Structure 1
Amino acid sequence: MTLRLDKQPGALDVAFGGQPLLRYVYQPDDPQLESPRPYLYPLHTLGGDPVSLFRPHDHVWHRGIAFSLPNVGPANFWGGVTYTRAQGYVQLPNNGSQRHHVFTRLDAQADAVGVTERLHWLTEPGETWFREQRRLGVTVAADQGAWTLTFGTELTNVSDREIVIGSPTTEGRDNAGYGGLFWRGPRSFTGGRVYCGDREGGDELMGVRAPWMGFTGRHDGHGRWSTLVFVDAEDNPDHPVQWFVRSEPFACLCPAPFFATEVPVAPGATVSLRYAVVIADGDPGLTGAADLAALGHAALKAPEDD
């Protein structure tokens, strides 16, 4: 069996042996209020089970997996309301967007898919603040019932001012440091298990620092389990990253590099981040989750092509 990459109008599809793994929507038609940006949805295991949620009623701006930042100077590239120190959560006319510019690489081999994309980050009034080079990769470890998504971003400030990236926590809200490569899980994953290093738990792992974190949830209907393990690249700033994670009231996971510390980005400066997401059938337990994390680490160490 081999990997296949198909370009559709506004989206890329990746499948393995005929089984769809992901769709990357690079030209979304979302309303401005939801901060339009590329996203990965749907996502499936090798066995065909869905492991993502799109536009849930409680947070309509959640999008499967998407690189989303809620506090970028006065702008919001997350969607919906903005948390401010003075007013708490409030809807402002500040919902920016990430616009696809061009693909510079679309490469599909039997054992690997590689994508390089350029994007522009525009504020709601239409100013371009950042230009981004984004890399996506897909590999499969069929013998381990898993496949790996790699995600890399180089985000360059092209404005004439310093832009500070933070989170609701840096604005004063405790344990709300979300922002980054954010995953929203299926509703049946609520109450699922969180794996992290030598620990297993749930919401009490919010904000811990670790090189990887995994989430295992159970599906409605057949009752099978699926697992996602996110891995923070060793060369990321402030590694190991802090994690934003919830098992209740819904399943979500995010390596959050701006969780508790604002990062100023000077004009012309670049923020570079890399992650791997390993998606597997079943519940491997804590030891097995560490094995999946090792797959992610190996994918991050593989050479990147432009």
Structure 2
Amino acid sequence: MTHDTPVLRVAGRPVGRYVTRPELPARLSPRPCLHPVTTLAGTAVTELGPADHAHHLGVGVAVPDVEGHNFWGGRTFVRDRGPTELDNHGAQRHTGFQLLDPDGFVEELRWVADGSELLRERRTVAATGLDHRAWALDLTFSLTNVTGGPLSLGSPATNGRPGAAYGGFFWRARKEPRAPEVFTADREGETEVHGGRADWVALAGAGWTLVFAGATEETRRDPWFVRAAEYPGVGSSLASAARLPVPAGGTVVRRVVTVVADGRLDRAEAAALVRGAVGR
């Protein structure tokens, strides 16, 4: 383990690598990320900079609009113009670890754009074994407005693109010849699940299943952003119907727990593992 690329382990087994200082061009909104993340059997379940979306960076936190600054990467959706290349990219800068253990860490980051710090983040990540075929990645982030004035977080949806309310936690999954299956406790398919609220959302590929669960009341109120046919990815929607205001000194906190399992889980198995991972 190094301080720049710590490795997460479950019972001594490596399951994820965290890159604190990725060397990326500005248009990809450089930010720390987890990649590769694997199942206990060693199957990779993340992608970094895939050809279809070079700004998708494994597992992390990304917001496409922080008071007009892009912390997601790629083009910015501009109302009445559509996706547009702009020189408005910010960067998340790792400043240090408050805790660094084989099974997790607590990190501080600065969200900087145009030479000014907009947000200060504390990110807590923990890896926990669940059973012989599954473990859980527990990720909490808190974003504090340090500008001295009000900020707001937006998304392409709040800027005029329906169905594109991504922003917050995001997991870019492994792309395979066949699109993964998507299901919740009572819904099935990308169309039915995307944009809705659910205690958990499962993405099942060839020999692996990811089950995403909001672990706080605020997190559970966020709709899920889900993609399967175009590319495999699941994330939260901090700003769906309207921009999310963050007053001066205010903090936004979200916690997502993800079950990483070998094999194809059914609904009962997914729900049971989520209960064990989230503790409710």
Q: Which residue does the alignment assign to 1:275? A: 256
- Find 1:22's aligned residue among 16, 19, 39: 16
Task: Encode CA deviations 1:22-75: one digit per residue, 9 max, x unaligned.
Answer: 001111111111000010100110011111111011210001112010011110
Task: Encode CA deviations 1:224-251: one digit per residue, 9 max, x unaligned.
Answer: x1001111023325x3320110111111
Q: Distance in 1 between matches of 2:180 and 2:23?
A: 32
Which stretches in structure 1 are left out of the alignment for 5+ residues? 1-5, 219-224, 302-306
Higher deviation after alignment, 182-191 or 274-283: 182-191
Query: By how many angstroms is 1:17 displaced?
Result: 5.1
CA contact (8 A) 2:134 2:261 kept: yes
Q: Indicate how the Cα distance of structure 1 residues 209 and 251 shifts in structure 2: closer, same or farther if over 3 A, else same.
A: same
Q: 2:110 matched to 1:132?
A: no
Q: TM-score by structure 1 length?
A: 0.87
Q: Distance in 2 between matches of 1:266 and 1:42?
A: 35
> Secondary structure of 1:199's partner?
coil
Q: Which residue does the alignment assign to 1:158? A: 146
Stretches of 4+ aligned residues off by more than 6 angstroms: none
Q: Distance in 2 between matches of 1:19 and 1:114?
A: 13
Q: 2:235 matched to 1:235?
A: no
CA contact (8 A) 1:278 1:295 kept: no
Query: By how many angstroms is 1:264 displaced?
Result: 0.7
Q: 2:164 matched to 1:196?
A: no
Q: Distance in 1 between matches of 2:272 and 2:70?
A: 36
- Find 2:32's aligned residue among 34, 38, 57: 38
- Find 1:294's aligned residue among 249, 263, 275: 275
Query: By how many angstroms is 1:190 displaced?
Result: 4.5
Q: Which residue does the alignment assign to 2:194? A: 206
Letter in 2 for 1:269: G
CA contact (8 A) 2:67 2:152 kept: yes
Query: By how many angstroms is 1:161 displaced?
Result: 2.3
Query: By how many angstroms is 1:158 displaced?
Result: 0.5
> Secondary structure of 1:61's partner?
coil
Q: Distance in 2 between matches of 1:80 and 1:257?
A: 19
Which stretches in structure 2 are left out of the alignment for 5+ residues? none
Q: Distance in 1 between matches of 2:184 and 2:138?
A: 19
Q: Which residue does the alignment assign to 1:221? A: none
CA contact (8 A) 1:23 1:41 kept: yes
Q: Distance in 2 between matches of 1:191 and 1:147?
A: 23
CA contact (8 A) 1:148 1:295 kept: no
Q: Which residue does the alignment assign to 2:172? A: 184
- Percent of aligned positions that are identical: 37
Query: By how many angstroms is 1:18 displaced?
Result: 5.3
Q: TM-score by structure 2 length?
A: 0.95
Figure out how many residues of one structure are paired with residues of the other and give that number. Answer: 280
CA contact (8 A) 2:168 2:238 kept: yes
Q: Distance in 2 between matches of 1:103 and 1:240?
A: 30
Query: By how many angstroms is 1:213 displaced?
Result: 0.7
> Secondary structure of 1:176's partner?
coil
CA contact (8 A) 1:25 1:39 kept: yes
Counterparts of residues 108-119 of structure 1 (less than 5 Å)? 108=102, 113-119=103-109
Q: Which residue does the alignment assign to 1:92? A: 86
Letter in 1 for 2:6: L
> Secondary structure of 1:236's partner?
helix
Q: Distance in 1 between matches of 2:43 and 2:250?
A: 41
